[in-house]
A and B are shown apart, each in its own frame.
Chain A
Amino acid sequence: MRVYLEIAILASRQQIAYRAAMLAGLFTNSVFGVILGSVMLGFYGSIDNGSVNGWSADDAITLIWINQSLLMVVYLWGWWDVSNTIQSGSIANDFLRPISWYGMWLSRDFGRALATVFLRMIPTLAIGWLLFDITLPASLARVGWFLVAVALAVWVSFSIRLLTNLAAFWLIDHRGIAAISIVFTTFLSGMIMPIDFFPEPLRTIAQFLPFQAITMAPNNAYLGKGDPLLIVATQLFWIVVLALLCAQVLKRGERRLVVQGG
Chain B
Amino acid sequence: MTGVAVLGVGMHPWGKWGRSFAEYGAHAAREALRDAGLEWSDIGYLAAGITVRNGYPGYVAASTFAQSLGWNGANIASCYAACASGAAALDVARARILAGLCDVALVVGADTTPKGFLAPNTGERTDDPDWLRFRLLGATNPAYFGLYARRRIARYGATERDFARVKVKNSRHGLNNPNARYRKEVTEDEVVASPIVADPLHLLDICATSDGGAAIVLSSLEFARGHGAPSPVRVTAVSTVTPTYPKTVVDLPDFATDSAAAAAPPETAYRASIAAAAYEEAGLGPDDLDVAEVYDLSTALELDWYEDIGLCKEGEAERLLNDGDTTIGGRIPVNPSGGLACFGEAVPAQAIAQVCELTWQLRGTAQGRQVPGATTGLAVNQGLFGHGSAVVATT
| Mutual binders A and B | no
